[in-house]
Amino acid sequence: YVGNISVFSDMENQLRQGHNVVLMSNHQTEADPAVIALSLERSNPWISENIVYVAGDRVLTDPLCKPFSMGRNLLCVYSKKHMNDFPELIEMKRRANTRSLKEMALLLRGGSHIIWIAPSGGRDRPDPLTGEWHPVCSLPC
């Protein structure tokens, strides 16, 4: 079920007029990009096919995540949380992040693009002490 389907129709109209749309929401599963695309393919096929997902490197490397990313428009970023895990890869990760951010800038300059970003880089979890939900940005902020 896709609620507020009229919002997606409004987005599609704005995209056709040359405007960009940036969606920011934290995801609940690694399958969210596939679920979003499949949920919108009947009502808003243009969005379903053209949405660009900003995704962490797990979508390319984790064998359980990778199948959900196949056939999707992805810009991969390496999380600042794990940037220093392997010192020999730090520079490669930084260069990859720079390339992804430049690509996003080019897309947005061209207009008519829809980009989905999950800024916390994963599913939100409650603070163990307060029980309140606070997303933490793990993208290169």
5-117 maps to which CATH number? 3.40.1130.10
The predicted model scores a pTM of: 0.82
Residues forming beta bridges with residue 21, ordered by sequence position: 114
pLDDT exceeds cutoff 60 at 141: no
CA distances from 69 to 15, 64, 79 (A): 23, 10, 17
SS3 of 80, please?
helix
Looking at residues 50-66, what average pLDDT do you find? 85
- pLDDT tens readout for residues 2-23: 889 999 999 999 999 999 999 9
**118 touches 137 (CB < 8 A):** no
Cα separation, 115 vs 107, whole angstroms: 9
Rounded CA-CA distance 58/77 in Å is 9
Determine the average pLDDT of the residues in 93-111. 96
